[in-house]
Amino acid sequence: MKHTKRLSLAAAGASLALVLAGCGSSGGDAGAQSSGIEVPDFPVAESVGDSEGQVNIVAWAGFVEDGSTNPDADWVTDFEQQTKCQVNRKVGATSDEMVQLMRTGEYDVVSASGDASLRLIAGGDVQPLNTDLIPNFGNLVEGLKGQLYDNLNGKTYGVPIGRGANVLMYNTESVKQAPDSWADTWESDSPYKGKIMAYDSPIFIADAALYLMSTRPELGITNPYALDESQLAAAVELLKQQNEIAGEYWNDALKAVSSISTGTASLGTGWQVVVNLATADGGKVASVLPKEGATGWSDTWMISSKTKNQNCAYKWIDWASSAEVNAQIAQNFGMAPANKEACEGTKENEAHCETFHATDEEYYKQVWMWTTPVEQCIDGRTDVKCTNYQQWTKAWTEVKG
Amino acid sequence: MAWLGVLYIGSLLLLFATAFWHTDPFTSKVIPGFTLENFQELVVQEAYRNTAVRTIGIALAVTILCAALALPLGLFMAKVAGPKLRAILAIGITLPLWAGYLVKVFSWRITFSQGGPLDWVLAPLGVDGMGYGQPAVVVTLAYLWFPYMAVPVYTAFRQIPDNLFNASADLGAKSWGTIRTVALPLLKPALIAGSIFTFSLSLGDYIAAQFVGGKTQMIGTVIAQNINLNPPLAAAFGLVPILVVVAYLFLARKSGALDAL
């Protein structure tokens, strides 16, 4: 009881601090080290003790598999036997749902994407981690070290699992010439009018911002997740223009597979795993990373600040970060693994990392990872207020009309 | 019983209260208080108005389509078909209720897809299927809720004695006149009861819109989008279909269709 009281006090203090930070435009340096985002203070674990007997995990489908979905995908059974921690999995469908589930305090670990993690950190829902207690932490690929969405104010909150880009995918039967630009998905004179698919989430506004970065440099967008009001308005205008020529919005990978492989959609935003599933079923689908770059996502394991099973939570994260398990998760889900060594050892591992550009930092330099848009501009501007995710959600409703 | 009331009415009241709260813009945590911001947003923002009107339109179209199909089918089953055919048709109408909702929606998704069954059937006529969009949503929802309209209409037809039709004919009414002046007034309660189902179920649906709607946005879509990020706005918008259904029930009551209940 005492414990919970202290937590709620901390949370209250945090929201106060947030309000204060929002009011005073404290001039200062922005960036990963001092972001201007106040975060509730939680103690860091000092050691990992005995198993509590269970660990409750909120994860994307395919991240925590015990063989019941697919007998070949099982990295939970061994963990349970070795650590005596029983794994209870809850599959989250969207980032927003995951945030909501973590707020209930009933879950110990979450696989958070970058658009959820900042909200979780600032909301006091997750605790800073002691990476010394995660021996498998050391072998991260270059690009995933110290990202803003899992490191804040010098503390580490998340252990990377993997990453992927939102590529431009196209049906090779209707799109003869491989595209090298997003232009055909945005411009009114697109030859594929009515057959364009777009991702159905407010975070897709960043894709519009990304396209504007190269087509309308006068807007001054330097980071698609840091948009002031006029920049957001320009992105919304572009999205409304796309709405005229779009055929469908998707938010479910299987829906995307059926649209792009039947040719109901000719081209649009997709994930590499969608392309792989479609081609595995005989669909004529290919993908490119266009010259403007792309948005993308990277997922991290985080531990709840209200966890009752901290030891098992640490044990799970360490287990899932080992080269072997990380490779299994990445291959099962269809993304680039975070652990360098998950790309080594077997032919299969090497081929997978090749397909997903796992260690190709040049590739991922063009990819802007999903980050929660917040009032403090994360591109370093301090003279304006940026638009937050709630404003993006409203704008998204407006776009769809 | 009392607990049922508390749970049911209580959750509705909570929904109503939430509509006046607001959220922290950054962490999207709900903060109790009193603000009319959410309702103001619904009125001012064109997109919400359009979505509400569109959703009501879709629900009405679904209801009309269901009624238009249920009337001839009910007449045929009750008055023309033999007992065997009648049993087969009754099974045919209710059988889809046994299949999972998602399975049915997904099969319509495949039906409407490019080069899918609908395109294939229409190809000899030189016509293309309509693809995803509002018409597809109407057809899918009409299919989903059709049994709720067809069963009451069929039952009502069964209860009309045959000799009423004979009497009408003896008095010189043509078949259309008989339907209009004899059958329809007797069917009105059944049609209204059925329409309450088809209308209110369509009003709350959003999964069909997601799967076959292409870019169609319905009230449910907006609520689902906001439920995690801005629950107060979702709650405020959630009151819209409730008000519409209450108004609909009020009209139905006024017409006397619910007197038998």
* pLDDT tens string A209-260: 999 999 999 999 999 999 999 999 999 999 999 999 998 898 878 888 888 9
Q: Is residue B6 over pLDDT 90?
A: no
What confidence tier does B162 reach under pLDDT thresholds 50, 70, 90?
A: confident
For B30-78, the pLDDT digits (tens) are: 788 888 888 888 888 888 999 999 999 999 999 999 999 999 999 899 8
Q: Is residue B144 over pLDDT 90?
A: yes
- Inter-chain residue contact B28 with A390, CB threshold 8 Å: yes
Write down the pTM of the prediction.
0.80
Residues 6+ away with beta carbon under 8 Å from B87: none
Q: Is residue A9 over pLDDT 50?
A: no
Q: Is residue A8 over pLDDT 60?
A: no
Query: Do residues A57 and A156 both lie within one domain?
Result: yes
Q: Give mean pLDDT, residues B179-204.
A: 89
Cβ count near B250 (within 10 Å): 10
Q: Which residue of B26, B214, B228 is in closest CB contact with A248?
A: B214
DSSP assigned state of B156: H
Q: Which residue of A103, A246, A393 is in closest CB contact with B225?
A: A393
- Inter-chain residue contact A248 with B215, CB threshold 8 Å: yes
Q: How far is CA B229 from the centre of its chain?
A: 28
Residue A337: its H or E element: strand A336-337
Interface contact A153, partner B, CB < 8 A: no
Residue A74: its H or E element: none
Query: Do residues A205 and A344 both lie within one domain?
Result: no
Please name the residues between 106 and 125 in chain B that touch chain A, using a CB distance below 8 Å.
Answer: 109-110, 113-116
Q: Examine residue A22 and state whether it is found in any structural domain, yes or no.
A: no
Domain membership of residue A184 as a residue range: 167-295+374-400
Q: Examine residue A227 and state whether it is found in any structural domain, yes or no.
A: yes
Cβ count near A108 (within 10 Å): 27
User: What are the backbone angles phi and psi of residue A202, rounded to the nearest 5°?
Assistant: -55, -25
Query: Do residues A267 and A389 both lie within one domain?
Result: yes
Q: Among the listed ranges A11-15, A392-396, B197-201, which one has the minimum average pLDDT value?
A: A11-15
- Inter-chain residue contact A249 with B215, CB threshold 8 Å: yes
Q: Examine residue B122 and state whether it is found in any structural domain, yes or no.
A: yes
Residues 6+ away with beta carbon under 8 Å from A181: A290, A291, A292
The CATH number of residue A350's host domain is 3.40.190.10
User: What are the backbone angles phi and psi of residue A216, rounded to the nearest 5°?
Assistant: -130, 70
- Inter-chain residue contact A96 with B47, CB threshold 8 Å: no
pLDDT at A35: 55
pLDDT at A100: 86
Residues 6+ away with beta carbon under 8 Å from A386: A226, A227, A228, A373, A374, A375, A376, A377, A378
- Give the Cα separation of B37 and A229 in Å (integer): 20
Q: Which residue has the higher pLDDT, A10 or B229?
A: B229
What confidence tier does A149 reach under pLDDT thresholds 50, 70, 90?
A: low
* Size of chain A, expressed as the number of residues it contains: 401
Nearest chain A residue to B113, by CA: A264
- Inter-chain residue contact A100 with B48, CB threshold 8 Å: no
pLDDT at A376: 83
Name the nearest CA neighbour of B206 among B218, B195, B191, B188: B218
Query: Do residues A204 and A215 both lie within one domain?
Result: yes
Query: Do residues A71 and A139 both lie within one domain?
Result: yes
* Size of chain B, expressed as the number of residues it contains: 261
Please name the residues between 199 and 238 in chain B that touch chain A, using a CB distance below 8 Å.
Answer: 210-211, 214-215, 217, 221-222, 225-230
- Give the Cα separation of A226 and B36 in Å (integer): 29
- Inter-chain residue contact A374 with B46, CB threshold 8 Å: no
Amino acid at B201: L
DSSP bridge partners of A109: A57, A303
Q: Examine residue A39 and state whether it is found in any structural domain, yes or no.
A: yes
Q: Which among B215, B217, B226 is the top mutation candidate for probing chain A, defined by the most A β-carbons within 10 Å of its own β-carbon?
A: B215
pLDDT at B28: 67
Torsion of CA B157, B158, B161, B166, to 10 degrees: 60
Q: Examine residue A101 and state whether it is found in any structural domain, yes or no.
A: yes
Query: Do residues A157 and A180 both lie within one domain?
Result: no
Name the nearest CA neighbour of A333 among A90, A144, A141, A163: A163
- Reported in sequence order, the residue ranges of A53-180 that DSSP labels E, i.e. its strands, are 54-59, 86-91, 109-113, 151-152, 155-156, 159-171
Q: Examine residue B120 and state whether it is found in any structural domain, yes or no.
A: yes
DSSP bridge partners of A168: A269, A288
pLDDT at A10: 40
pLDDT at B153: 93
Q: Give mean pLDDT, residues B229-240.
A: 88
Q: Give the three-class secondary structure for A371.
A: coil
Residue numbers in B near A388 (CB within 8 A): 25-26
Q: Which residue has the higher pLDDT, A356 or A30?
A: A356
Q: Examine residue A221 and state whether it is found in any structural domain, yes or no.
A: yes
Residue numbers in B near A401 (CB within 8 A): 47, 50-51, 217
The ipTM is 0.76
pLDDT at A170: 95
Q: Examine residue B129 and state whether it is found in any structural domain, yes or no.
A: yes
Q: Give mean pLDDT, residues A130-152.
A: 80
Residue numbers in A near B137 (CB within 8 A): none
Residue numbers in A near B215 (CB within 8 A): 243, 246-249, 400
The pair of three-digit structure tokens given for residue A89, joined into one six-digit string: 């999995």
- Give the Cα separation of B56 and B50 in Å (integer): 10
Q: Examine residue A219 and state whether it is found in any structural domain, yes or no.
A: yes
Q: How far is CA A150 from the centre of its chain?
A: 11
Interface contact B103, partner A, CB < 8 A: no
Interface contact B51, partner A, CB < 8 A: yes
Q: Is residue A5 over pLDDT 70?
A: no
For A12-62, the pLDDT digits (tens) are: 444 433 333 333 333 333 333 445 667 778 888 888 888 899 999 999 888
Interface contact A96, partner B, CB < 8 A: yes
Q: Is residue B192 over pLDDT 50?
A: yes
Q: Among the listed ranges A1-5, A349-353, B119-123, which one has the minimum average pLDDT value?
A: A1-5
Query: Do residues A136 and A64 both lie within one domain?
Result: yes
Query: Do residues A378 and A323 both lie within one domain?
Result: no
What confidence tier does B26 reach under pLDDT thresholds 50, 70, 90?
A: low
Q: Is residue B79 over pLDDT 80?
A: yes
Q: Which residue has the higher pLDDT, A16 or A297?
A: A297
Q: Examine residue B238 and state whether it is found in any structural domain, yes or no.
A: no
Domain count within chain B: 1
Strand pairing report for A54-59 and A109-113:
parallel
User: What are the backbone angles phi and psi of residue A192, rounded to the nearest 5°?
Assistant: -105, 30
Q: Give mean pLDDT, residues A330-343.
A: 89
Taking the CA atoms of chain A, what radius of gyration do you get in angstroms? Answer: 21
Residue numbers in A near B29 (CB within 8 A): 15, 103, 123
The CATH number of residue B170's host domain is 1.10.3720.10
Q: Which residue of B26, B113, B214 is in closest CB contact with A258?
A: B113
Q: Give mean pLDDT, residues A168-173.
A: 94
pLDDT at B260: 59
Query: Do residues A37 and A159 both lie within one domain?
Result: yes
- Give the Cα separation of B28 and A97 in Å (integer): 12
Name the nearest CA neighbour of A52 among A314, A304, A309: A309
Nearest chain A residue to B23, by CA: A390
Residue numbers in B near A247 (CB within 8 A): 131-132, 214-215
Q: Is residue A320 over pLDDT 90?
A: yes
Query: Do residues A383 and A254 both lie within one domain?
Result: yes
Query: Do residues A158 and A40 both lie within one domain?
Result: yes
DSSP assigned state of A66: B
pLDDT at B224: 85
Q: What percent of chain A has pLDDT over 70?
A: 90
Q: Examine residue B254 and state whether it is found in any structural domain, yes or no.
A: no
The mean predicted confidence, pLDDT, of chain A is 85
Q: At what angle do helices A323-333 and A310-321 cross, to 10 degrees?
A: 80
- Inter-chain residue contact A374 with B26, CB threshold 8 Å: yes
Residues 6+ away with beta carbon under 8 Å from B216: B54, B133, B134, B137, B209
Domain membership of residue B153 as a residue range: 87-216
Cα distances (Å, whole numbers) of residue A263 to B108, B114, B136? 16, 6, 17
Q: Examine residue A1 and state whether it is found in any structural domain, yes or no.
A: no
CA–CA min distance A388, chain B (Å): 7
Q: Which among A254, A257, A264, A377 is the top mutation candidate for probing chain B, defined by the most B β-carbons within 10 Å of its own β-carbon?
A: A264
Query: Do residues A197 and A210 both lie within one domain?
Result: yes
Q: Among the listed ranges A73-87, A107-121, B70-84, B172-186, which one has the minimum average pLDDT value?
A: B172-186
Domain count within chain A: 2
Q: Which residue has the higher pLDDT, A378 or A172?
A: A172
Nearest chain B residue to A119, by CA: B27
- Inter-chain residue contact B113 with A123, CB threshold 8 Å: no
pLDDT at A29: 33
Q: Give mean pLDDT, residues A77-82.
A: 92
Q: Is residue B180 over pLDDT 90?
A: no
Q: Which among A96, A204, A243, A285 is the top mutation candidate for probing chain B, defined by the most B β-carbons within 10 Å of its own β-carbon?
A: A96
Q: Examine residue B121 and state whether it is found in any structural domain, yes or no.
A: yes
